[in-house]
Amino acid sequence: MLHYQVHLPTNLHDNAPWLVLLHGRGADEEDLLALAEFFPDHLVVAPRAPFAAMQWNYGPGYAWYQHLGGTTPDPEHFEHSQNELHSFVIALPDLLDFKPGPLFLGGFSQGGTMSIGYALRNPGAMSTVLNLSGFLPEHPSVHVTAETVADTYFIGRTAFMIWLSRIRWRNRVAASSRPPTPAWPLSICRLTTPSRITPSPTSKHS
């Protein structure tokens, strides 16, 4: 299981919201934990990535995968880290002895990419995804469809990507003689106009 640190709210109770923060490459579980002060009512958890970053010259900390370029993580590393993250998320409520409320997942750089990938692999498992300088990963298990995005807020640069995919899908339907089934729900990503999208800057630390 992933090593982690946790910040407990003053009054931890059943159905409390919880926030899982994933660090970027070359960092560790302490990197984003300071953000917990901005979420006083949330249980905040920060796990450590499973790979040593030094093997890929990413620094002294840890990494979620080797970056192969563009928006492509090493597929085996990415799959391994996704499985480790899933086991961690499933086990955490029992470890901390609480009944969880809404799950918020976010991260920086590789942590942002992991968060997006996890949300799209596990539709509806979390309330909100916060992407800080990550990207939409190219991986066989990651798909942007009506079903994978309908029940989750996506905040960050990838929100724009998913919104754009929605517009392109509508254009294809309009140009086709087939009926638009299934129709994309208006609540998709909770983003209905470009003005509500809050893109984050492109990062060189993927």
User: Whole-model pTM?
Assistant: 0.79
Contacts of 32 (CB under 8 A, 6+ apart): 21, 22, 23, 46, 107, 108, 111
- Residue 74: pLDDT over 90: yes
Which amino acid belongs to residue 3?
H
Spatial contact of 135 and 114, defined as CB atoms under 8 Å apart: no
* Confidence band, pLDDT 50/70/90 cuts, at residue 77: very high
Per-domain residue ranges of the chain: 4-196
* CATH architecture assigned to 4-196: 3-Layer(aba) Sandwich (3.40)
Average pLDDT, the chain: 82
